[in-house]
Amino acid sequence: MKLQCKVAWMVAKMASQVPNEQNYFFDENLIRPLVSLLVFETMDRNTHKTLRTSNTMHSVVRSGVALTGSSDMEGKLGKSEMKTMKSLNGRPVQDSWDTYSAYSQFYFDGKWDGLCRSPEHIFTQETKTKKIRHLRGFSDSFSFHVPSNLELLKRVRESEDPETKRDLKFQVTSALCNLAKDNVEISRKITETKALICLAQMIEKEVGDVQKIAILAVMEIASAAERDAELRRFAFKMNSRAAKAVLHQLLRIIENGSDDLKVPCVKTIGCLARTFPAKETKVIEILVHELGNSEYCVALEASVSLQKFVHQSNFLHVEHSKTILDAGSIHHLMHLISLDGKEVQLPSLTLLCYLAEHLPSHDVFMEMETLKTLKAVSHTHVAQLQSAREDLIMAIQQLELYQSGGH
């Protein structure tokens, strides 16, 4: 396990320092082995029982699956061979790999009946081919018991030092996080596995740096999904078990977690803004509540995320605008706009302008004297920024039109 930690650390370092070479890891099919480590360390026994394996000799060699059916083996080998099969190089056969190794050794030594027996035991290419074919056929008479071997392996890994296991989770997740950053193809490959379920469980059960890196990994995958509609629909559809588990944990952190964890969680929700239906009002209400967070970094990120709900590229921007206004966002936005510093003012002003453009007839604008505030802001340095000027002019025009009775 310590060796696996070192290898995962190397992958994470290489992926972060040379991000343009991420596809080399993708081409070498490194994603699934990394996710497999997370699956084994985070998912329970019942989940492992659902994993399927093929009954081929290749799968036996690769996974070390236990072989059963000794009566059939005894019938094919005979008592003398069976007796010798019970030991390998002077030691008892204790696991499936020993069984397979002993089986292969007897076969290729020419000790089985007539099929490949020769006086000198000289292997020609023809006899080798016959033996391999017979070996494959022989493997079909066995049944493969996956859970018992997984349980055995799990018991061995459970004896490892807890800190080593936590370090393995951290390093593997860090590698996945760095590989997924700004890479749609790798993010899609990750979501095709059980990675999102594992990350959701890590966010729920882990603490400290392991929990944080799991959140960051989800954020990078969501960021890639924001740019790719196909990935967004595949990985984060609302009826998906993995998507529901991830969303539940993100909202839990936003409501009850520390501020340093809230920022990536809020950003992740914003990346997925176009996946939420109009009836999903709880998510928006939680984000609106964070507009009043005393830590302005959280309030800033909440403003940016809510912008993505009401931007015109979002098909449901009008419905989401109404939900945001009904949740009491104007009071928080007016406060943020009054603060010094364009880092906080600009995102809040942009969100307020979007809301005024989409629903200028909403009563809250009249009650909070929003038009007066926007006109005052139009004379400040923030209004001179190109990114805010056009939206501010449009919002003032819409509010003047409706409040003057011109509609």
Q: Where are the domains of the chain?
A: 1-36+161-275, 280-407
Higher pLDDT, 384 or 216: 216
More confident residue, 244 or 95: 244
Give the integer Cα–Cα distance in Å for 249 and 214: 11
What is the pLDDT averaged over residues 287-298?
91
What would the mean pLDDT of 198-208 be, rounded to a whole number? 91
Tell which wins on pLDDT, 257 or 80: 257
Task: Find out whether 197 and 50 touch, Cβ atoms under 8 Å.
Answer: no
The pLDDT score that the predictor gives to residue 17 is: 84
219-224 average pLDDT score: 94
Band of residue 6 on the pLDDT scale cut at 50, 70, 90? confident
Which has the higher per-residue pLDDT, 211 or 27? 211
Residue 380 vs residue 316, higher pLDDT: 316
Closest-CA residue to 328 (of 300, 346, 313, 306): 306
pLDDT band at 47 (very low <50, low <70, confident <90, very high): very low
What confidence score (pLDDT) does residue 265 get?
96
Least confident of 16-25, 111-120, 232-241: 111-120
Task: Tell me the CB-side half-sphere exposure of residue 77, using CA atoms within 13 A.
Answer: 24
Task: Name the E strands within 109-197.
Answer: 143-145
Decide which of 169 and 386 is more confident. 169
When mean pLDDT is compared across 20-24, 52-56, 303-307, 367-371, the lowest value belongs to 52-56
Q: Residue 297 corresponds to which tokens in the numbers above? A: 């970094």
pLDDT band of residue 68 (cuts 50, 70, 90) is very low
Q: How large is the average pLDDT for residues 301-308? A: 94
* % of residues, the chain, pLDDT over 70: 71
Task: Tell me which H or E stretch contains 37.
Answer: helix 31-42
At 406 the pLDDT is 54
For residues 112-141, average pLDDT:
46
pLDDT at 381: 81
pLDDT at 156: 60
Question: What sign has the CA pseudo-torsion 384, 388, 393, 395?
Answer: negative
Q: Which residue has the higher pLDDT, 108 or 14?
A: 14
Q: What is the pLDDT of residues 130-164, one digit of tens each?
A: 545 554 454 444 444 444 555 655 666 666 777 88
Determine what percent of the chain is predicted with pLDDT higher than 90.
Answer: 32
Mean local confidence (pLDDT), 13-17: 85
Task: Tell me how many degrees the CA angle 46-52-54 measures, rounded to the nearest 5.
Answer: 155
Which CATH entry fits the domain spanning 1-36+161-275: 3.30.1460.30, 3.40.1380.20, 3.20.20.300, 1.25.10.10? 1.25.10.10
The pLDDT assigned to 301 comes to 94
The CATH H-level superfamily of 280-407 is Leucine-rich Repeat Variant (1.25.10.10)
| Cβ 232 vs Cβ 275: under 8 Å | yes
Same fold, 1-36+161-275 and 280-407: yes
Rg, C-alpha atoms of the chain: 30
